[in-house]
Structure 1
Amino acid sequence: MPVVAWVTLVAATLVIALTAVALLRVIVHLKHVTGTLDTLIGGVESIADRTGTVPARLISVNATLKPVRDWTETV
């Protein structure tokens, strides 16, 4: 084989190897980001559970406070 062919093969091998290493680094970073996002999603779900809407059982409290609301509307 001529020298030019060997140089081309070595250059192609280097380019492919560097690209493979770069892609492996991207994969590692994406796995780290996935773990961070899973933790973040868990935190957001926890906050959503703790700050949900008022349950329907508080309707009786609202009914009890209706006279107070009516009085404040007259003020």
Structure 2
Amino acid sequence: MNQIAEFVKTRRKQLGMTQEEFAEKAGVALTVIRKIEQGKENLSLSRVNQVLSMFGHVLTSIHEKDAKRNSEV
């Protein structure tokens, strides 16, 4: 979750938005943004994807072989 936390925090700051502004724009509660940026692990996947969709990303499952192959490229 730390990679996601850093990704969201960095991208939000690049947009020049506060957590409050970003939460409103993403359509989630402020606590969702705070939990994501703090690297909390007990988050709703749908809420995380709602936030990540602001940057054109989603979390999804992939086969382990595919993950290894993509990391080698």
User: Where on the TM-score scale, by shorter chain, does this alignment land: which range?
Assistant: under 0.3
TM-score, normalization by structure 1: 0.21
Q: Which has the higher contact order (CA 8 A, sep 6+)?
A: 2
- Is the helix fraction higher in 1 or 2? 1
